[in-house]
Amino acid sequence: MASRARRRADRARLRHKRAKWWGRYLVDATERGKVIDTPTPCSCPMCGNPRQYSGERTVGERRWFQQVEDE
């Protein structure tokens, strides 16, 4: 379990790293806080979960289905 200092350091690191995100510089502190917690602004096919749009199974799902078929 990470300590409080480590969590604060990680948030500060992400805040600095994602100063230029979403194609522009984020000056507002509210936007920087939002981009730390949710780096993708929406769930469209370009930004969101590709599995939802392409229908491909994850590696874990493929393994599970393979095990079920073998039994």
Q: Which residues have CB under 8 Å from 26's CB, separation 6+?
A: 18, 19, 20, 32, 35
Tens of pLDDT, residue by residue over 6-53, are 999 999 999 999 889 888 898 888 888 888 888 877 777 777 676 777
Q: What are the residue boundaries of the structural domains of the chain, listed by start?
A: 4-70
What is the reported pTM? 0.56
Q: Which residues have CB under 8 Å from 9's CB, separation 6+?
A: none
CA angle 65, 69, 71 (to 5 degrees): 120
- With beta carbons less than 8 A apart as the criterion, state whether 18 and 35 touch: yes
What pLDDT is recorded for position 64?
92
pLDDT at 1 over 70: no
